[in-house]
Structure 1
Amino acid sequence: MADGQRLQRVKPIHWIGVVVAAVLLLVAVVLVPGTAGAPVPASCPQRWDSDRIGRWVPAAADLDGVADSLVPGEPAGALICAYPGHNTKPGRPLAGSRTLTDQAASMAHDLGYLPVTTDPPEMVCTLVGGQVTNYLIRFAYPDGQALWVGSAEEVNSCVMTTNGTVVSNAYVGPSITAAYRTGTWRLLPPKGPCEPATGRRGQDEQMVPDGAIKVLICRQVPRNSTPSPSPGREYGERQARELAAELNSLDAEPSRSVCEEVGGRRREVLHLHFGYAEGPPAWVRILPACRPSVDNGMLMSDANVAFLDRIGRLAPA
């Protein structure tokens, strides 16, 4: 009975679009490290040799920076290996490959900016069955070294990407699919400026990494169970850094992607997108009617009423 009562109190927040199915699976994601220093294969493995979606590589590279970035340094080429299948049985034979040369540096740059951690957060995934394509990407370096990155495009968009040492929960599957099909890499932007993007490296240590020069604040209000988007309101460097400092001062812990709804406050979602001179924005989601109220996909924390009220005043009506 105690377990049942606990499950009734802690509710995934369906009305913000974080969870889109009635039945949820809380997945404790476990990092499966490769063998550090093991030889990195020079060609695509003939099979996706794992029952996991995305988060597998045939060997972990022994390269400087692999504990801080998915793709450190400046590789000279990239080989994309595709393994299409079904998410109930992701292990499948190799279907094809695509080699990128002049696009490899750009791909490495974008993947290298994704937030990573050695302690993966839990993820809430919908249980929709459907197609999945697992990908292995072999980055080759001018000195002869190489590194594998494992990722996937999956019907639930619930994927961990890994280099065998660190993982990221930023979803880049559609971008990899586009690069595999066209031979051109481009990190696909979110559908709108107020939609959460991939996040930024360092968000496993700080809610907002240092150096923000602007912030876009957006408000979504649920209407008939579907959040209604509103135009964002942008502020400059002073406001961005003040808000970042306040968010970083909160006591944070690894995100669990769920929260407990509380009464007394408006049911809405506030998205903060912190922009930088270079690289992707860092996004933070604030749920004033939920505890914990602050989450960036890697960390979560709870803000006091005064801070929540201040963000509410800064957001567009």
Structure 2
Amino acid sequence: MDNEFERTEQVDEFWADVRIQPVCVALPAGVGYTLRAYRMSDELPEATEEETSDDEAAETDELVTRVDDGDEPVARRRVVRGEEKAEVDHDGDDDVDAEEADYDEPDPKDFEDGPEDDEDAEPAEPVVEEVPLFLSRKGKLLLFRTVEGLAAFVGSDAPHDLAGLEEWDTVAAKLTVEQLVPTEDDSYELDLVVENLRGGHDAWDADLLISAGELTRDLAYALRLESVRTSISAGSPLDDLDESLRKSVEGGIGGFLAKRRTKKIGAEQAALAWRTIIGKISAATDWRD
């Protein structure tokens, strides 16, 4: 994943100011470049109707087509059905008008006061956390085979998920090809993960596998890959593997014990699990240029 340009202090300052970083990702289909940012969840731009995912649109279409006939909304139809059922339950007469059913004897429980502290209870504070964002569109990671292609896209008016960030106008106006130099920590070789795992415990590259896990967690969150998030969630076998690798890198007694635990993890099972994950990430990647 070589880049002909150099990561200078000026480049570091530019990316630090806009709080975005270029990222290089190697997948089985090739090497590509994109952008990633971290923001607190209360800083995120609101999604627009145009940014609604294909899955959400399909779900909306499904709800719309549930109306059997006539112009009544689905919600109204459900209320009508509820009234009809109430009429039958009330006196067993299917011919009673819906208006008459509305005058059922009130339930005394409807007039009971709730708990004394309900009115004074404060709503729970929303959880604010740091979340990852990528140069993506409708649940697809935009990955460019050249930095020139990435720079051209950034300077265009094409829609994407980073456009709502307040720093984006600065990036779009000032970015040059020479600034698209990812750091070593922002370069990931997912294409090597499965092969490395199949090489056996003694061949496992802890740095490679740990960095792959970090990128995968970010992508799973940003692209809403729920099955991937589940595969690497806390307590999962792959999360246990990640934790053992991290402790083994730290060294000491804890690192020694972690290495022993790591050897109990099935290499083939880990390789198969990671192959599935990388396949899902590849399927959620939109290769450009």
- Tell me the TM-score normalized by structure 2: 0.25
More strand by share: 1
- Greater relative CO (CA pairs within 8 A, separation 6+): 2
Q: Which has the larger radius of gyration?
A: 2
More helix per residue:
2
